[in-house]
Chains A and B, each alone.
Chain A
Amino acid sequence: MMKQSFEAIVIGAGHAGCEAALALARKGHKTLLLTISLDAVAFLACNPSIGGTAKGQLVSEIDALGGQMGIIADKTAIQMRVLNRGRGPAVQSLRAQADKQQYHTEMKKVVESCPNLFLKQGEAERVLLDGDKKIVKTAVGDEFEADVVVFATGVYLNSRIIIGKYTENVGPNGFKNAKKLSNSLKELGYKLLRFKTGTPARVNARSVNFEILEKQPGEENIQPFSFMTTKKIKNKVECYLTYTNPKTHEIIQNNLDKAPSLSGEITGIGPRYCPSIETKIVRFADKDRHQLFLEPESLSTSEIYIQGFSTSMPTDIQEQMIHSVKGLENAEIMRDSYAIEYDCIDPQQLSLSLESKLHSGLFFAGQINGTSGYEEAAAQGIVAGINAALKLENKTPLIISRGEGYIGVLIDDIVTKGTNEPYRMMTSRAEYRLSLRQDNADLRLTQIGRDVGLVSKARYNRFLKKKENLKKAYEKLSEKLKINEKLIKFFKKYGENPPKNSISVKEAIKRSNLDAKKVNEEFGVFSEFSDEIIAELNLIVKFEGYLKQQNEDIKKAQKTEEVKIPKNFDFSKQKGLKIETIQKLSEVRPENLGQASRISGVSPADIAVLSVLIKKFEGEKHDTKN
């Protein structure tokens, strides 16, 4: 049989795979996107929502780089809310209820119509290395050849779902799983981990008594995920809030022996931040109720997702549990809740570009790297796609630093420290989060996206215009507001002590009860600028001191990131490093001094020694050349 030849093959068309394939194809590389089922392309297998704390930031970052997720999320959103409004500029995150059917359909359309991109159904079984070429064999016997391969297999590797005593070797939602690819990865020398996660039941909307439940409406006039979305997003559905109660807890307590996640039937490691309801009740026995959110899955179905109620209990117990909850007394269960176990790789086997350290040309992205979440997957997908393309182009890889974006934090975390549970992005993981806001994702990353060739002209021009406007607006800050009746009245109106003399616009904005919007409303200083610019400016002024400090920290950190550790630098041959340090460094093989400093157990003194050793190593290399 003829081997079909591509420049790149992406295995898996979930959130990571789609972004990776789109990045490769948009950069002009002939790319095959293999999926186990065409009906599972960009499938929202768990909750019908995109974004949320830290995840919203990821989506906007993907967007700024020229990715697809933000655009599709905006297009298919049926409700939007901002979490953490007023609790700090950087922790505010957008969360959207996405129409599950539409999301899949819209993303599939984009992928299908993308030049250079070939979407094909097929189960990858084996990946072989043939010199510099990679060969992917599928279950039906097809063979494809490419220079680079991106693994984005999600939770499909050797997966099985568990509902009580019932287990079956399938992927999420009953899709076929990938039975043999795990072995192929082992063959190639990869260390595998086994993780688990779960998804709650779906019930029919007509059977839920919404009238007695607390409404969770969406917000209007929200700044969307994508910097390219100009249309205002309309809220089309409402979510509802309900709670578990002592009766629910009693049912669970009485049936703990039937819970596979507690009885030892499930061996995979689950995420602590997304525990099953039985785990919550055992671990937090003093809590008498837990929140449950009822979220519509799509405008084209009556299925309602019960957020917070994931379980692997047998179906009869599940039914009792659901019926014990207020509003769900008569709920018709359409899909049962299940736990799912799957294989993934230890991400410490990857470099910061998401390329495997073991074999050049193999890239990994998404849940196969031990992460969880659509947004985390897509973020890695776009980076792996870009770097696979840069590899094809013989260019240096793109590495987003921890100071540049959550994407940088995510990749650096998993690659440097590894993970012992499915990794979820959190704002607390970002040391520079004040600088990593959703509103400035474009300012941080559009130039990078443009440089790698993913950002369209239209997007780039929009970015340049925003930057220009911001600069102009910034210049207005030094303008003086003359001391007169009006100014005094304005200050008094907002409970601020009026100034004695004329005051600069900036000083006025800095007052705690005032902001750029109020100053503009009164004096029209920023009348030529958009709300977006005024909000951005306000933030820059209000948090000036903190932002300045953070920028200095970022710059300082950058210095150590710039000290690269040569590829052929042998840690074990270095005199002066402690044995434990050598072991840790050899395991992770950090690419630069900054990354080395984040390996746990490596001290500042170790880093000082290492910096000297690197210089020495490079100097000696230089000497022998001469």
Chain B
Amino acid sequence: MKTIVAISTPLAKSAISIVRMSGKNALTIAQKFFTPLKKQKLQPRKMALGKFDLGSSFEKCLMVFFEAPNSYTGEDMVELHLHGGIVLTQLVQQKLLQAGAQLAEPGEFTKLAFLNGKISLDEAEGIIEEINSESEAELKAALASADGELNQKVKLLQHKLKDILAEIEVSLDYPEEVDFEVLIDNIIKSLKVIKTELSVLISNSEQLKFVKSGINVAIVGRTNVGKSSLLNALIGEEKAIVTEIEGTTRDIVEAKADFKGVRFNFFDTAGIRESDDLVEKIGIEKSKKMLKDADLVLVVLDGSEKLSSDDKKIINSLKQPHLFVVNKSDKKRVLEKMNDEIEVSAKDKKNLQFLKESILQKTIGEDFNFNASVLANERQLEILKEALKQTKQAISEKSESMEILSLIIKNIWQTLGKITGETENEDIIDLIFSRFCVGK
């Protein structure tokens, strides 16, 4: 049986918000992200204080677990009580969806509760009202986004998929009337077009994601190359403590700066080196983790010194997109020329504009149109990615099992339906008869 998730409090600015899950895997899914703080125990019906792992950061929150059948729905349930905030709440829900929970239908919790005999008859009227108002709210939300460009584009993709489906179905129901080789060629061609369109939607949306939530830029480098100075220079204020002592920055320093309407989220990390200092060690661990979530990494090097073994270690371990920032251009250049390097001076605030431009280019790219209204939010983006995955699967599916191909294409169609709301595929047979000349 599936595990469902929903945000149970209104999506608005509020002091707290609650995300709840119901289903056999509710606890397992929640525990992928939630760890109780020391001395906090997770036991049914007791609130536990803990941390929710959001990937790049942790959110302190409360969690409570209800064991079946002693819960609202009668199934295992988990409630997460978060600090209010639309983005945070959605992010938490997103994480749970990624881990296998499914978005609840309007009134589904209540329906479960009712079907599992958890609600008395006197309460029935209220429940009906609740379901109706929830579905109305959803309808309104759907209507609001129905005009959106993304919605239109996804709908178009759905129609293309439906056309392919009709082609497959007609070939299966009227095998004597169809040239299968031609058909398969055409289907693969069409699927490839859909694949490209999905990829474009995804990359556009990812760029837009940058606009909305900012670009995460990690600043790394061995100790004392001037990472903190660079951060301060980039944001124009003294955010990080700058000293001559190696290893001053022990925790991640986060700072934001706006540039051309895009937000940069800078993370100054602890210098990566072998350290005996426990506190610093923790800082280093965090740095490594943060690196993984960065959209771009600035590798800071000291222009006045030769490439050290620590520098090399960092460079070799980098897997994500990065830029070399050669600091201390105010001093004599000793460092060899690096690929993709930008020379700056944090001290004299030289060449910083150019660095910011480069960050934009490296992440968002040049051809990015800020006015594009094709906006996929986190949830939609996940759906598009899932659809892309399925499309690739369909393309690689062996042609001899048309039936399986049809199943996969139906799945893509349904996945995209989560964006457009079009999930009932009743007219496929009408489509067959209007499009194809079949029958004796």
- The smallest C-beta distance from B162 to any residue of chain A, in angstroms, reads 12
Bound-complex Cα distance A275 to B174 (A): 14
- B381 interfacial contact with A, CB 8 Å: no
Q: Report the nearest B residue to A552, measured CB to CB.
A: B1
Q: Is A604 an interface residue (CB 8 A)?
A: yes
Chain B residues within 8 Å of A543, by CB: 404
Query: Which residues does chain B contribute within 8 Å of A47, judged by CB atoms?
Result: 440
Contact of A53 among B105, B110, B173, B402 (CB under 8 A): B173
Task: Point out the residues of chain A lying under 8 angstroms from B403, CB to CB.
Answer: 87-91, 433-434
Q: How far is the CA of A429 from the CA of B428 in the complex (A)?
A: 9
A576 touches B128 (CB 8 A): yes
Contacts A83-B175, A271-B439, A284-B437 given; indicate if A546 touches B404 (C-beta within 8 A). yes
Binary A-proximity of B154-187 (CB < 8 A = 1, otherwise 0):
0000000000000001011111110010000000
Q: Is B172 within 8 A of A608, CB to CB?
A: no
- For chain B, the count of residues having a C-beta within 8 Å of the partner chain is 46
Nearest CB on B from A348, distance (A)? 16
How distant is A198 from chain B, measured CB to nearest CB, in Å?
10
Within 8 A of A (CB), among B124-143: 124-125, 127-129, 131-132, 134-135
Cβ–Cβ contact A615 & B121, under 8 A: yes
Main secondary structure, interface of A, reads: loop
Q: Which residues of B contact A275 (CB under 8 A)?
A: 437, 439
Closest to B430 in A: A272
Check A287 for interface membership: any CB of B closer than 8 A: yes
Determine how close the nearest CB of chain B comes to the CB of A25; give it in whole angstroms: 34
> What separation, in Å, do the CA atoms of A444 and B27 have in the docked complex?
36
Q: Which of A70-112 contact B (CB under 8 A)?
A: 83-84, 86-91
Rounded to whole Å, the gap between the CB of B110 and the closest CB of chain A is 7
Say yes or no for A113: interface residue by CB 8 A criterion. no
Q: Select one of A53, A310, A611 contacting B174, CB under 8 A.
A: A53
In the assembled complex, the Cα of A605 lies from the Cα of B438 at a distance in Å of 38
Residue A626 CB within 8 A of the other chain: no
Q: What separation, in Å, do the CA atoms of A88 and B177 have in the docked complex?
A: 17
Q: State the Cβ distance, B9 to closest chain A Cβ, in Å.
A: 20
Contacts of A620 in B (CB 8 A): 121
Residues of B within 8 A of A546 (CB): 404, 407
CB of B433 closer than 8 Å to a CB of A = yes
Q: Indicate the size class of the contact surface on chain A.
A: 35 or more
* CB of B189 within 8 Å of the partner chain: no
A403 within 8 A of B: no
Judge whether A428 is part of the interface by a CB distance below 8 angstroms: yes
Contact status B433-A272, CB under 8 Å: yes
Distance of A53 Cα from B169 Cα, bound (Å): 11
- Known A-B contacts A91-B402, A605-B132; the reply to A615 vs B124 at CB < 8 A is yes
Asked if residues A600 and B429 are in contact (CB atoms below 8 Å), the reply is: no
Among residues of B, the one whose C-beta sits closest to the C-beta of A603 is B135
Please state if B124 and A91 are interface contacts (CB–CB under 8 Å): no
CB <8 Å contact, B432 and A428 = yes
- B111, A608: Cβ atoms closer than 8 Å: yes
Quote the shortest CB–CB distance from A71 to chain B (angstroms).
Answer: 25
Pick the contact of A611: B115, B400, B402, B426 (CB < 8 A): B115
- Name B residues whose Cβ lies closer than 8 Å to a Cβ of A: 1, 105-108, 110-111, 114-115, 121, 124-125, 127-129, 131-132, 134-135, 169, 171-177, 180, 398, 400-404, 406-407, 424, 426, 428-429, 432-433, 437-440
21 A-B pairs (CB sep. < 8 Å): A53-B173, A84-B175, A272-B433, A272-B439, A275-B439, A287-B437, A290-B437, A291-B176, A310-B440, A546-B404, A576-B128, A600-B426, A604-B135, A605-B106, A605-B131, A609-B128, A609-B132, A612-B110, A615-B114, A620-B121, A623-B121
